Structure 1
């Protein structure tokens, strides 16, 4: 079965911006399936946001991520 974007529903989203990146935590459900937490990092280059692997976290980023995940868990069914 090929991925179909219109079947992917965002149920919740929160993001936190840092110096030149932001971390996004969302709850997604594909084809009315089990909601799952998705964690992404976006880096800012020339005023454009681009996807990057989450990789290593600073202390500030890890503290924010923990709180964001706790908030996202409240939106899991």
Structure 2
């Protein structure tokens, strides 16, 4: 089991959120790219405001902010 951040819209930061082979986290203009999910999750854990990119219903990748943590099964 792992804890992952959850955005207000219910989306979670999960291992399937790679964009062109990396996870994009952080505020717009100060984003970090990480190829490894565990490293990206560790970096999110120390950010004052957790932010990551995820696709919306139209498959457009946008930044969301975490508001809670959820325990999920690690796949």
TM-score after normalising by structure 1? 0.29
TM-score normalised to structure 2 length: 0.29
- Structure with more strand by fraction: 1
Q: Which has the larger radius of gyration?
A: 1
